[in-house]
Amino acid sequence: MSRLVRTSEESGPYCETPPDESPERAEGPPYAECVLCRKPTEYAESVKGITLCPVCEWQEAQRTACSG
């Protein structure tokens, strides 16, 4: 979740970027399937939780971006 941060009077407030909580990238196959489009992801099959391919990950980031 983003939060509003004030840095100085000149730059004004901005939305702070949340920390990266994505799992480690896989070194090689087998790769997990994307839960939205079922294409291979960059994550190992052993990763728990929602795994998204790079395209779906980007689209999800656009949908949830701070639009202040």
What integer is the mean pLDDT of 32-37?
A: 93
How many residues are there in the chain? 68
Confidence bin at 9 (pLDDT 50/70/90): low
Q: Give yes or no for residue 68 having a pLDDT over 60.
A: no
In tens, the pLDDT along 35-48 reads: 999 999 988 888 88
Q: Give yes or no for residue 13 having a pLDDT over 70.
A: no
State the number of CA atoms in the 13 A half-sphere of 2 facing the CB.
14
**What is the identity of the amino acid at 5?**
V
Helix (H, G, I), strand (E, B) or coil at 7: coil
Average per-residue pLDDT for the chain: 77
Please, which residues have CB within 8 angstroms of residue 14's CB and are 6 or more apart in sequence?
Answer: 4, 5, 7
